[in-house]
Amino acid sequence: MEQLEQQIFAQFGDQAAAVQHLLNAAILPLQQEINTLNQQLAVQAQAAPQIINQNIQDAIAQGVAQIQPPVPAPAPVPVQPQQPKDPKVADPPIFSGNRNEVRSFIRSL
């Protein structure tokens, strides 16, 4: 690892020492913060099963308490049979399919 770091910093030439100090100033606090967070996670992981179980039990109890009786479905609307309606006076005649009746075809469009 040390050899790899030396190769990386060697690319900066005369400024290698300044770059190394800059990175150390930025990275060391971050590494310390990461270690602190990892320790906190480890502590929480040990206590988590009890907390999670209690939270789940509380959520279930609240959900059960909030359950309301179901609302009955509305009565179905009776279906009325479709009856053919008479064409309106303004409706054009329906195209019969005869190619000789061009006007009824154009009106049907």
pLDDT band at 70 (very low <50, low <70, confident <90, very high): low
Please name the residues in contact with 14: beta carbons below 8 A apart, sequence gap of 6 or more: none
pLDDT of 84 above 80: no
Q: According to the model, what pLDDT value does residue 75 have?
A: 76
Is the pTM above the cut of 0.85?
no
User: pLDDT tens digits for 51-62?
Assistant: 667 777 787 777
Three-class SS state of 22: helix
For Cα atoms 27, 28, 29, give the angle at the middle one, nearest 5 degrees: 95
